[in-house]
Amino acid sequence: MNKLFKLFGIVALAAAIGLSFAGCDTGGDSPAPAPAGGTGGSAGSQRSVYTWNDAESNSYRLEITEAPNSRAVYTPKQGDTYVLTITPKVGKPQKSNGTVTLSNSTTIILKPDNSPTTFTITVTPTDTTVIVTGMGGTITFEDGKTKEVIPIFDTFDFKAEMWYYDEAGDIGETWQNTLPLSYFTSVTPKKGDKFTFEISGTINNTMEWFNLEIYYLPSWTTIGVSDKQEISGPFKKEFVINIHEDPKPTATEFRISMINHLYHMYSHNVTANNARLPEGTQRGDVMATVSNFEIRLLPNKD
């Protein structure tokens, strides 16, 4: 396996550190304005081309070509083919070829022809185009070599979150932030699975009841939780998430919630943790910032 590839600042990438991300060059009809592009593959087929650079000055070009006999207005979709070309600052270009196994407004999952392991491209639509804002998983190239993509962040904010239902519901206050599970794995969680994450960095506040959870959309249903640990100052911690139930077939996206539980009251009046958000805190206020924040999925030890 090649040395680990690091993509910095996946959340708000271009704005945070000024990396270069070009838009989506869409051939044929496009629902949004974009630079003109040609067609690729069989006669009459359409394509989308994404180009971007990473923090190590490697350049990327992803071309997705529509599947045969498609008649819909073209956006990348399941069954399309792709060619990803990575041109390093020093050395020869590497290519990965394969098919699109999932595509929606934010996520494209790609499966190389020579590997069962998929990897994920995260995209963000704008008013005029689509930009690549993240990657995750392991890329397999034509020669069988692989490159692991690990999201690594310069800074990461934990923000206030409050929810209040009616008297029969529950009340909660937390600091939290979330990431797509597809940044780390293409595996769909199921009951009995275990995911071990390592997180590290330096935080400017103390989180006493911090843990990780995996939930799915659109129902926001939590299917796995880790034990709680305290985080303060420089830290490096492992969290094991045990999946306690299968997701419903309607699940469209899985996310990791990094959450510091403060106050939670259920309808049966059981209260967990007696701390509260400071008076006057508004939803979305930054409660803690981690510098040199890293999070990665570790192989299971058993």
- Quote the DSSP letter at residue 168: T
Is residue 148 included in any domain, yes or no? no
Kindly state whether residues 170 and 277 are assigned to the same domain: yes
Among 142, 177, 206, residue at a domain's last position: 142
Decide: 101 and 73 in contact? Cβ < 8 Å.
Answer: no
Instruction: Name the residue type at position 154.
Output: D
Overall domain count for the chain: 2
Measure the CA–CA gap between 106 and 33, rounded to whole angstroms.
18
Measure the CA–CA gap between 239 and 257, rounded to whole angstroms.
12
**263, two tokens:** 């106050």
pLDDT, tens only, 118-151: 888 888 777 777 788 778 788 999 999 998 776 6
pLDDT, tens only, 89-113: 888 999 999 999 988 877 888 999 9
Kindly state whether residues 74 and 29 are assigned to the same domain: yes
Kindly state whether residues 130 and 175 are assigned to the same domain: no
**206, two tokens:** 């103390």
CA dist list (Å): 272 to 88, 89, 174, 175, 232: 50, 52, 12, 15, 21
Kindly state whether residues 16 and 44 are assigned to the same domain: yes
Kindly state whether residues 122 and 176 are assigned to the same domain: no
Dihedral over alpha carbons 196, 197, 203, 208 (to 10 degrees): -30
Q: Which of 19-33, 36-50, 176-190, 231-245 has the lowest mean pLDDT?
A: 19-33
Measure the CA–CA gap between 120 and 166, rounded to whole angstroms.
39
Q: How many residues does the chain have?
A: 302
Kindly state whether residues 107 and 169 are assigned to the same domain: no
Is residue 123 included in any domain, yes or no? yes
Is residue 217 included in any domain, yes or no? yes
Among 89, 112, 142, residue at a domain's last position: 142
Q: What is the mean pLDDT of the chain?
A: 79
Tell me the DSSP string of 38-51: ---SSTT--EEEEE
Question: Which pLDDT band holds residue 70 (cuts at 50, 70, 90)?
Answer: low
Kindly state whether residues 159 and 294 are assigned to the same domain: yes
Domain that residue 228 falls in: 155-298
Is residue 138 included in any domain, yes or no? yes
Kindly state whether residues 270 and 219 are assigned to the same domain: yes
Kindly state whether residues 126 and 246 are assigned to the same domain: no
**228, two tokens:** 């709680």
Q: Which residue has the higher pLDDT, 71 or 297?
A: 297
Q: Are strands 21-27 and 5-8 parallel, antiparallel or unpaired?
A: unpaired
Kindly state whether residues 289 and 216 are assigned to the same domain: yes
pLDDT, tens only, 161-201: 988 776 656 788 999 999 888 778 878 899 999 999 999 99
pLDDT, tens only, 233-288: 999 999 999 999 999 999 988 999 999 998 887 665 556 666 889 999 999 999 99
Kindly state whether residues 131 and 168 are assigned to the same domain: no
Is residue 149 included in any domain, yes or no? no
In 3-state terms, what secondary structure has residue 13?
helix
Contact partners, residue 69, CB within 8 Å, separation at least 6:
none
Measure the CA–CA gap between 48 and 62, rounded to whole angstroms.
8
Kindly state whether residues 182 and 127 are assigned to the same domain: no
**pLDDT at residue 266 in the model:** 67
Decide: 244 and 223 in contact? Cβ < 8 Å.
Answer: yes
**57-69: average pLDDT:** 83
**208-216: average pLDDT:** 95
